[in-house]
Amino acid sequence: MSRIISIPELCSVSQWKFKAEGNANIILAYVGEDEKFLRTVLRLRKSVCNHTEVVKDKDANDDVEKEAKSTQLFASLYATDVIKPLLGEYVGESLLVEVQPKFLKEIADSIHSLRSTKRLRKNIDFTQRYAILTSDHTRFSSSSNPSLSIELKPKWIFLPTSPHISPENTQKLRTCRFCMHQHYKRLNKIDKDPSVVTGYCPLDFFSLVDERLRRSIDELFKVPSNVLKLFMQGEQLQIEKYYMAQQSELSDPTIEEWKVVVDGYKRRIKDPKASVENVDSAQIRQRIYEFLISTTLKDCSIILTFKKKAKDEVTDLSGALFSPEISKDLSIAFPAQSTKNICSKGSNKNIEISNHTKNLKASCDQNGTHEVLLDYKIYVIDLDPKYISNIPHYYELDSEIVKSYVKNCKVKRTCME
C-alpha cells in the first residue's frame, strides 16, 4: 500500500536538483540537509504525450476515469501491488509526497536550462497532486567508495511465435520489434539525427553469448539513446561525449483487478497447455491485460550499481526512511596488468553463477590475477501503468513499423533468440 506524506519543507526548489529525464518523468535528487531524505529522488510526471489526445473526444466519463487511473497514486500502487509480485525484491519502496502547482512551476523554471533541448517538448505536469519519492538506486547508503551505476532499458527481448500473425507481418518472426522501430524512426526522422544507425539489438544483449553481448555493448556506447545511462556517484555521465476488437468492452483495471490479472498470468504460465485449449472471451481479456503489463515492462529500466567493498563497513540506518538496499557480493578477478581496462576486447572471461551463494565469480585465462571484491545491487524502475485507450495506437504503430521495414529496409536483419 502506498504511503502519502505531506512535508512542506520538501516543496522548496532549494531542496532539489535536476538529475535525469526520460520521456514520461523528470527525476530530481534531494540536496537538502535532512538526513532522512539523503539519497532519495523525487519523480515528477511530465505532461501527457501527444497520441493520448486521440481519446479526448470520447465521453466525459471516460476522461474522468482515465484521469483517476493516470495519477501518481495509481502509478505507485501499480508498481507495488501489480508489478512487484512479478519482479519481487527488484522493485523498491516508494512514498507519495503531496505537491502544489506553485512548487511544480518553480521547479520547472529552475531546471529548464539543464534539460536536453530534445526533451523540452513536454514540461512537468502542473496538475499532479503527488510526486513519487524513492531511494536513489544509483547510490549506496554508505559512501565509503565511489559507485558506478548502469541504467539499461531492456525493451522486449523476444521474437513473437504466435500462430495468429498474419502473412503480411511474418517479418516479425525474424526481426525484433526494437530493430524495426529503429528503422522506422530513422525513416520518419523521429530521431534528432536520422543518419545515426544503432546496431544494438536487445536479443544480442540478453543472448548470453559472449560475442553477441560484447557487440551489443559496443553498439550501445556508440548510440546510447535512451536505452543506456551511466551514473558515477549518482551523477549522470554524458556517454555520447565518450563515444482491437474488444476495446469498447474493456476498461482500465483497478489495482484489485490488476492483481487478479497477475494471479491469472502466474497460473497460466505454470500450465501453458490448459490455456491454449480453452480460449474464451475472459481469457482474451486476460491476454490483453497481460499485453499491457508487458508494455510497462518493455519501458522499464534496470539499474545496476557497483562499488568496491569496504572492509568492516558499518552504516547507521536507524533514521532511514526506506529499508536498507539488498546488496550482494561480486568478486571479479582481473589480469594483474590490465585492471584499468575492464571491458577491453580480447580478454576471455568465463562467468559462473553459483545459485547457492549468489556470488558471481569471474575468472580469466591469463596467469597472475588481481581480485576485486565489489558490492552490487539491482533495482527496476519506471513501472508506469499503460492504458487500454492506447492499444489502437500501439497496434497502428506496430503495423506501421513492420510495413515500413518490409518495404524500405533493403538489408533485412535476422535477430536471434
Round to whole Å and give the CA distance between 94 and 6.
Answer: 14
**Which amino acid, 258?**
W
Residue with Cβ nearer Zn ion (158 or 291): 158
Residue 328's nearest CA partner among 383, 282, 373, 387 is 373
# of chain residues touching Zn ion (CB under 5 A):
4
Residue with Cβ nearer Zn ion (69 or 183): 183
Round to whole Å and give the CA distance between 170 and 157.
Answer: 17
Round to whole Å and give the CA distance between 36 and 317.
Answer: 9
Of positions 75, 179, 321, 380, contacts Zn ion by CB under 5 A: 179
Through-space distance between the first and last CA atoms of the chain, rounded to whole angstroms = 38
Residue with Cβ nearer Zn ion (91 or 157): 157
Please, what is the minimum distance in Å from the beta carbon of residue 190 to Zn ion?
18
Name, in order, each residue with C-beta under 8 angstroms of 59's C-beta and a sequence gap of 6 or more.
none
Using rule CB under 5 A, residue 176 touches Zn ion = yes
Residue with Cβ nearer Zn ion (133 or 203): 203
Residue with Cβ nearer Zn ion (176 or 220): 176
Longest CA span, the chain: 71
Please, what is the minimum distance in Å from the beta carbon of residue 199 to Zn ion?
10
Binding track over 21-60 against Zn ion, x by CB under 5 A: ----------------------------------------
Q: Which residue has the cell 529503429?
A: 182
Please, what is the minimum distance in Å from the beta carbon of residue 412 to Zn ion?
11
Show contacts with Zn ion in window 139-168 (CB under 5 A).
none
Show contacts with Zn ion in window 185-224 (CB under 5 A).
201
Please, what is the minimum distance in Å from the beta carbon of residue 416 to Zn ion?
9
Residue with Cβ nearer Zn ion (201 or 364): 201
Round to whole Å and give the CA distance between 382 and 66.
Answer: 19
Please, what is the minimum distance in Å from the beta carbon of residue 188 to Zn ion?
19
Stretch of 103-111, 169-177, 237-245, 383-391 lying at the interface with Zn ion (CB under 5 A): 169-177
Show contacts with Zn ion in window 356-415 (CB under 5 A).
415
Cβ burial, residue 139 (10 Å; 0-12/13-18/19+)? buried
Phi, psi of 112 (to 5 degrees): -50, -45
Please, what is the minimum distance in Å from the beta carbon of residue 214 to Zn ion?
16
**Which amino acid, 187?**
L
Residue with Cβ nearer Zn ion (174 or 349): 174
Using rule CB under 5 A, residue 227 touches Zn ion = no
Residue with Cβ nearer Zn ion (21 or 299): 299
Element (H, E) at 52: none
DSSP class of 253 = P
Round to whole Å and give the CA distance between 29 and 192.
Answer: 28
Residues that bind Zn ion (CB under 5 A): 176, 179, 201, 415
